[in-house]
Structure 1
Amino acid sequence: MFSAVLLPSVKLVSALAVCVAVSMGLEPNGSAQASRTQTEPPTSPKRRTVARPGAAKTTCVTTNDTLAGQPFGTEPTVGQLLQAGARVISRKSFANVHEKGQTDTILTLQHQGNQFEFYCMPEQRLLRRAVIINFTPAYGQRLRQTLDASTRQNGGSCAKVQIRDTERTNNVSATFSAGKPSVAHVEPYLD
């Protein structure tokens, strides 16, 4: 008696499956309908990338207030860079948003292929941005140590490194080539 009750329900489930397949564009045998045009490209399965053992991680992200806030250790100043042979690339006037009537300057320096941008006010000069491609000067070597420390914190080699502080206001990012930094961007927080 149990099989008599079960048999009609199995037929009902089979019939429902056929109806669903037909409404989705499949024939009962599972093949695509003949109405599908020949010009449609066949769908391909999504590829899954598998990391090779020992390969560098794509991007390593570190949150570290000290490394992000002081990536050079002692930050190079305009005077130090000019004394070391940097040359002025540009000076742009900029209206101070906090002091009415005060005009500040954005000063761009180039030193041994590296570029530094400073926000200059009468009372101080703040690093706004730096792009480092030459790590041989003392500030470049200190930055390399910071990047190496960040890589160690992430447990190995990385193709790209991002270092942030807890408030995500100071940022350092670098791209590595053959295990060494090839270019680094330093962007300290400025209001």
Structure 2
Amino acid sequence: MALLSSRKLLLALYLCGASGLASCEARQPPVVTQTKPAKPQPAPAAAPQPVAPKAACTLINDTLAGQPFGTEPTVEELLRTGAKVLSRKPFANLHEANQMDTILMVSHQGNSFEFYRTPDKDLLRQAVITNFQPAYGQRLRATLNESARQSGGPCGQLRLRDTERANTISATFTAGQPSQARVQPYWD
């Protein structure tokens, strides 16, 4: 039996040699590799073009205009965190005879605040914000960004007020972010 197997092997080798090596490989079961057709690559999405800011936007929103800082900074809070009193000016109270109040100017981290000080409270008359790093500046930035979004997108100048036109915020934007804001709440 071994002789018969050896003969078959010799015969196979002879035939392979005679017909070429390629035909020997042909007797092997072919290895089938299926190539998947190349998936068409989606065209790269074009980078969104920056929207040119509108020159000026105006928004009327009682909530945003009424509380632009969220929680309004107080004189005590500002002084506790390093603010300096720039000036104190006496001011005659228009509603209480013989009562003198004070106009208090305060500077905090490059921002300026003007308060109307009575014996029992301080009322913010005006604030000019150029440094948005303090907590009150971050809250104001969020209000201004939300106002710009509600007015339809980026603005160069933004004016925010309430329906009674009592509270007004005017802001200038640079590169899509507030760079300066003037807050003027209502006071009598």
CA distance in 2, matches of 1:158, 1:63: 15
What root-mean-square deviation, in Å, do the aligned CA atoms of Structure 1 and Structure 2 show? 0.9
Write the distance in 1 (CA, Å) between the matches of 2:63 and 2:148.
15
1:60 aligned partner? 57
CA-to-aligned-CA distance 1:111-134 (integer Å, 9 cap, x gap)? 000000000000110000000000
Q: Which residue of 2 aligns with 1:89?
A: 86
Specify the alignment match of 2:130 in structure 1.
Answer: 133
Count of aligned pairs between the two proteins: 139
Partner of 2:67: 70
For 1:144, the equivalent position in structure 2 comes to 141
What corresponds to 2:104 in structure 1? 107
Name the residue aligned to 1:168: 165
Secondary structure of 1:136 counterpart: coil
User: What stretches of structure 1 of length at least 5 have no aligned partner?
Assistant: 1-52
Q: Give deviations 1:133-185, integer Å, cap 9, x for gaps.
A: 00000000000000000011011100011110000010001000111111100
Establish whether residue 158 from structure 1 lines up as the match of residue 151 from structure 2: no
> Whose radius of gyration is greater, 1 or 2?
2
Could you say what secondary structure the match of 2:173 adopts? strand
Where does residue 182 of structure 1 map in the other structure?
A: 179
Shift of 1:86: 0.1
Give unpaired runs (5+ residues) of structure 2. Answer: 1-49
Q: Deviations over 1:22-56 (max 9, x none)?
A: xxxxxxxxxxxxxxxxxxxxxxxxxxxxxxx9311
TM-superposed CA distance for 1:58, in Å, is: 0.8
Write the distance in 1 (CA, Å) between the matches of 2:95 and 2:184: 21
Give me the whole-angstrom Cα distance separating, in 2, the residues matched to 1:172 and 1:56.
18
Runs (4+) of structure 1 exceeding 2 A deviation are: none
Alignment match, 2:116: 119
